[in-house]
Amino acid sequence: MSHSIMIMCEQSGGRILPVTSELISCANLIAAHCHSRITAVLPGLNTDAYSIPGADLLIINSPGLAEYTCEGWEMAAMLAAEQIMPDIIIIAHTSTGYDYAPRVAALTGSGCITSVCGIEFTGDNLTYRRGGFHGKLDLQYRAGEQALVITVLPGAFPSYDGQTEAGMTSIINADIQLACTSNVQFSIPDQANTELEHAEVIISAGKGIGKAENLQMIRAMASCFNRSAIAGSRVACDNGWIEYNAQVGLTGQKVSPQLYVACGISGSAQHIAGMNGSKTVVSINRDPEAAIFRYSDICIVEELESFIPEFIREAEKHRAE
């Protein structure tokens, strides 16, 4: 069985981002099984020449790709697919990747599996793994006869470290015109959060804290530790309880503290992708079936309002001794 695999590079300002190396690692797993040729596609307005270990590189160069748009990346992917004729298209499951991936699948008549976190082989069959029902189930999918588009969770595969030499690089200078996109405003907010970057202990709040007033309880718990910081899940940030630059997860920060305490966090794959580098994970949740427990070293099944105040009292008692 032979396949052609196409990867869509993640880039910012023409610079290839590290998650692309994880996509190449995923593609090489499939290629080793299916004897495939791998081509990475880099859309943008590029002036520099690139090469990528483990794959050929096709640069789609156009002024219409100077900034990310769903329409532009979709058109670049379709232009590349016409040349490569891929059986599998691999896209990172990022805020941009899962924006245009379903459209590429629809336009190419392909199947689409999102949030892939693993690949297994059974004979000639490939099985794709992803979480379901907020991470409570481990689902397995098998592709049909048609081509396939998959989005891969950042952190699900290691960065490619093969000794393969860089492949060939080719460039298509395209005239991509955006017909359905209006540029209302484009800005990049400051997402830096030095507290999270340098914290040894992170206390993270999720939907389970219930209301903004309970954030004071989270802050009090964090104050029990030296070099600590508070963070939150996407839901906690969407609810306005925590600033977005303190969001941990796929569309937020990736952290790796000595201790990560998840308070009322269900454990979606998107959140796990941001904290799975933590040395020790403690989770507090009233739901004994919460998916976060599968990734935790210590699991505490309890109401936050009961456990955290008691923990703070014991910590203060220990500090006074």
Tell me how far CA of residue 291 lies from CA of 109, 202, 254, 286, in angstroms: 34, 19, 19, 12
Average pLDDT over residues 66-88: 93
Whether the pLDDT of residue 149 is over 60: the answer is yes
More confident of the two residues 1 and 45: 45
Mean pLDDT taken over the chain: 88
Whether the pLDDT of residue 194 is over 70: the answer is no
Average pLDDT over residues 73-78: 96
Please name the residues in contact with 304: beta carbons below 8 A apart, sequence gap of 6 or more.
208, 209, 210, 214, 217, 263, 264, 284, 286
State pLDDT tens for residues 262-292: 999 998 888 988 898 899 999 999 999 999 9
Domain ranges of the chain: 4-173, 194-320
Q: Could you tell me if 231 and 253 are in contact, meaning their C-beta atoms sit under 8 angstroms apart?
A: yes
Helix 70-84 vs helix 97-108: crossing angle, to nearest 10: 50
Whether the pLDDT of residue 184 is over 80: the answer is no
pLDDT at 1: 47
Question: Which of the listed ranges 131-145, 180-194, 263-277, 297-311 does the model predict with the highest average pLDDT?
Answer: 297-311
pLDDT at 83: 93
Architecture, CATH, for domain 4-173: 3-Layer(aba) Sandwich (3.40)
Whether the pLDDT of residue 137 is over 80: the answer is no
Whether the pLDDT of residue 106 is over 90: the answer is yes
Whether the pLDDT of residue 318 is over 70: the answer is yes
Domains 4-173 and 194-320 share a fold: yes
**pLDDT-wise least confident of 44-53, 59-68, 207-216:** 44-53
Dihedral over Cα of 297, 298, 302, 306: its sign = negative
pLDDT at 286: 94
More confident of the two residues 138 and 10: 10
Whether the pLDDT of residue 162 is over 80: the answer is no
Average pLDDT over residues 130-140: 79
Whether the pLDDT of residue 190 is over 70: the answer is no
pLDDT at 119: 92
Average pLDDT over residues 189-205: 79
Instruction: For residue 62, give the nearest of 173, 171, 169 by alpha carbon.
Output: 173
CATH superfamily of this structure's domain 194-320: TPP-binding domain (3.40.50.1220)
Q: Could you tell me if 279 and 257 are in contact, meaning their C-beta atoms sit under 8 angstroms apart?
A: yes
Please name every residue paired with 202 in a beta bridge, in sequence order, or none if there are none.
229, 260
Helix 215-222 vs helix 304-320: crossing angle, to nearest 10: 30
Whether the pLDDT of residue 123 is over 80: the answer is no
pLDDT at 178: 87
pLDDT at 132: 80
More confident of the two residues 159 and 166: 159
- 10 Å CB burial of residue 310 (0-12, 13-18, 19+) is exposed
**pLDDT-wise least confident of 11-20, 132-141, 202-211, 304-313:** 132-141
pLDDT exceeding 90 applies to what percent of the chain?
56
Average pLDDT over residues 120-132: 85
